[in-house]
Amino acid sequence: MAVDQELVDAAIALARDRFGGTAWSGAAALRLDDGTVLTSTAPDFPNQAVGLCHETGAICEAFKLGRRVTGSVCVTAADEDRGYWVLAPCGVCQERLFTHGPDVEVAVPEPADPRRWRVLRLRDVQPHWFARVFPDDVWPYER
């Protein structure tokens, strides 16, 4: 399984090390096709319109290494000592991850308790993804 507790713990460790548990700080961890785990977090810019998602750095690193992403998790430190919550990838990150195929696993929070999570494939997170209409020989990315 590409997304597991080890991957979640890697994201939490980066968020904790980098931000010391500051409320709403976060990080991401991605697993690559060779088992490598990459972590990243988002810089804080004065103009929030140019902000990046926590996953972006690790996605760029995977591209630099020429590796395929197989799993992704993003976490945020909830306020008032409520622990770390798992966040589903936003729509932009879903598009970035779809480059690696619809079977990339992502962690999504359980509705009743975002500290708990489950694994879904991108195809199940976004069943009506626009590129599903293109035949394999037309779409330029691997699936």
For position 140, what pLDDT does the model report? 57
CB 25 within 8 A of CB 10: no
Architecture of domain 5-133: 3-Layer(aba) Sandwich (3.40)
pLDDT at 103 over 70: yes
Nearest to 117 by CA among 80, 83, 81: 83
pLDDT in tens, 4-28: 999 999 999 999 999 988 888 999 9
143 pLDDT tier (thresholds 50, 70, 90):
very low
Burial status of residue 110 (CB atoms within 10 A of its CB: 0-12, 13-18, 19 or more) = exposed
Question: Residue 20: which residues within 8 A CB-CB, separation 6 or more?
Answer: none
For position 82, what pLDDT does the model report? 86
137 pLDDT tier (thresholds 50, 70, 90):
low
Domain ranges of the chain: 5-133
- Report phi then psi at 49, rounded to 5: -65, -20
**pLDDT average, residue stretch 55-66:** 97
For position 32, what pLDDT does the model report? 98
pLDDT at 59 over 60: yes
Q: Please tell me the least confidently modeled range out of 57-61, 114-118, 125-129.
A: 125-129
pLDDT in tens, 65-87: 999 999 999 999 988 778 999 99
